[in-house]
Structure 1
Amino acid sequence: MLTAVRVLTAAVLAFSGTAAAPVRDQQQWVLDALNVEQAWTVTKGKGVTVAVVDSAVDTGVKELKGRVTNGPDMTSGTIERALPPGRHGTAMAGLIAASGADGGLIGVAPDARILSLPMVIDDEPAFAVPPVQEEGVAPESPLARALRYAANHGAQVVSMSIGSYGPLRSEREAVSYALSKGVVLVAAVGNDGQTPYAKEKGTSYWSFPAGYPGVIGVAATDKQGRRATFSSDNLSVLVAAPGVEVPVLKRDGGYELSEGTSSAAALVAGVAALIKSRYPDLRPEQVAQALASSARGRPAAGYDDQTGFGVVDAAAALNAADRLTGAKQSVAPGMEHFGRGEDSPVPTRPGPDPLRLWLYGGGVLVALVAFCGAIIVLNQRKEE
């Protein structure tokens, strides 16, 4: 299955400037689309670690210096080796937590930290590969190892801008394990929107891990908030975020523009980090609810398989999360009309009924009085 793992960036475009100031100008539309700067008045993600399951992150880039912890190579479960910094992993880490040092690129959660969980992947993938059904029981996949490692080493959010066709049991179990530990899982839904299959069927192949239950699947939108044509459309889509001409960090420094659901997923992982920083006890399903219920540009029907519930709004998601902190249980968006139900009546205490005891006791007393009266009357008659 290793060769099936692919990163989900469709293309890297030329960047118009190399100085520090232009990158902030270039990324301003992304920050505005996600309403990030308003969210920063509340939190910038301090205290949260986001695991980036991707190619290795370049820790020498100025915006990431001192902010990245390197985990072991997830490709092999037995041999630890250092993987060289990757283009894709560095770009995604920057979107999540770049510090903005010296006026450079700034991430959605600039005070968060990155846990790099590298694996060998293809930075220049093809996207028209048909699904492959796995036969038999497979050993634990690199992604499954990464999810368990992240859950056991302090990550509150996992960003997965990768995908493969077809689910694996080891990954399903690892997803469940991470969710049970309170870890928020975010993944790109894929870039198969323009494949012949998608055009013919009106829907795209499912990509995993985005397709696993409990994972927040993210689609890509353009500068107008419309679904990017390459973005996969299927029911794994929960929300959307910018994925066209998004400025990212380059390995070894500098910037470039990216296109793909990879960037969209990393941006949403940053928003999830903001939520977990402010509300660390919020459960993964509640974080997903906060993101979905507060999204902007909601489809006319409330949901569709192209942009999900709409484009993520970081500030509104924080407000929604605040309301959920007092909730005893989460309710999926659109399901509120089912209500929470009435509380069951408190069960009666075991033992005899007090009222019946009084009635029984009163009856016995009346019987005794009548019996004693009868005896007195009989004795009086004998004396006469």
Structure 2
Amino acid sequence: MTQTPLRAAALTLASAALTVLPAVPARADAIRAQEWGLQAVHAQQAWRTTKGEGVTVAVLDTGVDANHPDLQDQVLPEKDLVGFGAGPGDAAWARHGTGMASVIAGHGHGAGRQDGVLGIAPAAKILPVRVILEDNDPQRERARTEKAGALADGIRWAADHGADVISMSLGDDSESAHPEPREDAAIQYALGKGIPVVASAGNGGDKGNHVSYPAAYPGVIATTAVTHQGDRAHFSTRHWYATVSAPGEDILMAGNDDGYLSGWGTSPAAAFTSGAIALIRSAHPHLSPAQIRHLLTSTAQDTPQGGRDDDYGAGLIDPAAALQAADDLRPAPQKPSSAAYDHTYFGPGPTEDAPEDTPTNWLPWSAAAAGAALISAAFLLWRTRR
């Protein structure tokens, strides 16, 4: 199946916004002291319950440098759905994806792992799925046209290969942005398998606030970005699909080749939300995507008047509060498999037996009785003839 050319050309990292700074020394005072986002979302309190053990977060991005000291032994084998472009050792390889992975599951390094980037779910595993190339990759334009279906394929692949959360710090918020049936269907497939899906709300706050996909697909937990002061970041897209907000300005993260980056955008904000969901899934693995979404929105900090708005969604994520609230939840009941089809198109599925006086019930029972009578008559005739 083919993708619309305009859509293929527009899909980009939701943080073109990732800025590369001179390498930051890997010291606790240089890195940890600047990770203001962890304090803002009460990560330390959440870690009293879990650090994301047993959870796999699929990072659909530009690839992940599994050899970065803050991610060693944390990254599973990568699935590359692009198949060309920059590789390990190149400056245009896996910078963005490595940064997002570290925001989610960085565990630091050194004695006691006191140095380097610490992610919000430092015990979670990362499943890298390469679906896009870096902005400065010479093969970028080729990938946009030849691999336009990689995002949809990546969502399905992740859903079938152990992902507990799907994180997408990318999107299309251009003037030509529009929904793609393949992507929408892939997201619904993942949600149907019980996998929450997160995406960046978009970086179009200063450029018209165009709708961004995949953030605007039904069921996606779209994340906007806030600053140190808790204000909406000026670049963060304001739209109806905003679900929650998370830190998205001056975010320290790992880069490729053992380096570090400082970035801004709804990309790291989405990574924070994905990590928060990893914490919830670690402690409560059987909760549905809808229940997890409700936990995030009902326990968010700084909730706007009226319960939500287009700037912040329901407010700033608070995984510690969500974990506490989850203790009172029961897993969503499983639907009978034969009722999996939507009522609108295929009917309601299994129902209880109708009352005996229902007019349409006489036919099958009458037929069964007649059949039994014929069998009895045939048996008596056989006995008589013998």
Residue 263 of structure 1 is matched in structure 2 by: 268
Q: Distance in 2 between matches of 1:247 and 1:155?
A: 25
Moved more, 109-118 or 316-325: 316-325
Structure 2 gap ranges (5+): 1-6, 138-145, 335-351, 358-386
- The answer to whether the 8 Å contact 1:139/1:170 transfers is no
Residue 98 of structure 2 is matched in structure 1 by: 90
Q: 1:53 is matched with which residue: 49, 60, 64?
A: 60
- The answer to whether the 8 Å contact 1:15/1:257 transfers is no
1:153 equivalent to 2:153? Answer no
Counterparts of residues 72-221 of structure 1 (less than 5 Å): 72-75=79-82, 83-84=87-88, 85-102=93-110, 103=114, 104-123=116-135, 141-164=149-172, 165-195=177-207, 198=208, 204-221=209-226
Q: 2:12 is matched with which residue: 6, 28, 42?
A: 6
Report the TM-score when normalising by structure 2: 0.76
Cα gap change, 1:20 to 1:2, in 2 (>3 Å): farther
Q: Distance in 2 between matches of 1:116 and 1:262?
A: 15
Q: Distance in 2 between matches of 1:97 and 1:186?
A: 15
Residue 319 of structure 1 is matched in structure 2 by: 324
Q: Distance in 2 between matches of 1:123 and 1:82?
A: 11
Cα gap change, 1:5 to 1:121, in 2 (>3 Å): farther
Residue 274 of structure 1 is matched in structure 2 by: 279
The total of aligned residue pairs comes to 312
Residues 172-225 of structure 1: per-residue CA shift (max 9 Å, x gap): 110111001111100001000001xx2xxxxx1111111100110000000011
Residue 40 of structure 1 is matched in structure 2 by: 47
Residue 132 of structure 1 is matched in structure 2 by: none
Q: CA deviation at 1:17?
A: 4.5
Cα gap change, 1:20 to 1:193, in 2 (>3 Å): same
Q: CA deviation at 1:350?
A: 5.0
Residues 268-289 of structure 1: per-residue CA shift (max 9 Å, x gap): 1000000111111110111111
Aligned to 2:253, what secondary structure does the other structure show?
strand
Cα gap change, 1:139 to 1:167, in 2 (>3 Å): farther
Moved more, 317-326 or 142-151: 317-326
Aligned to 2:199, what secondary structure does the other structure show?
strand
Q: CA deviation at 1:123?
A: 3.0
Cα gap change, 1:36 to 1:48, in 2 (>3 Å): same
Structure 1 gap ranges (5+): 126-137, 199-203, 330-345, 352-384
Q: Distance in 2 between matches of 1:230 and 1:348?
A: 58
- The answer to whether the 8 Å contact 1:240/1:308 transfers is yes
Q: Distance in 1 between matches of 2:24 and 2:78?
A: 33
Identity of aligned pairs, percent? 41
- The answer to whether the 8 Å contact 1:72/1:80 transfers is no
Cα gap change, 1:213 to 1:89, in 2 (>3 Å): same
- The answer to whether the 8 Å contact 2:63/2:78 transfers is no
- The answer to whether the 8 Å contact 2:8/2:148 transfers is no
Q: CA deviation at 1:26?
A: 0.6
Q: CA deviation at 1:324?
A: 2.4
Residue 306 of structure 1 is matched in structure 2 by: 311
Question: What letter matches 2:163 in structure 1?
Answer: A
Cα gap change, 1:140 to 1:88, in 2 (>3 Å): closer
- The answer to whether the 8 Å contact 2:287/2:331 transfers is no
Bigger CA radius of gyration: 1
Cα gap change, 1:81 to 1:14, in 2 (>3 Å): closer
Q: Distance in 1 between matches of 2:262 and 2:215?
A: 23
Q: Distance in 1 between matches of 2:87 and 2:179?
A: 26
Counterparts of residues 336-351 of structure 1 (less than 5 Å): 350=356
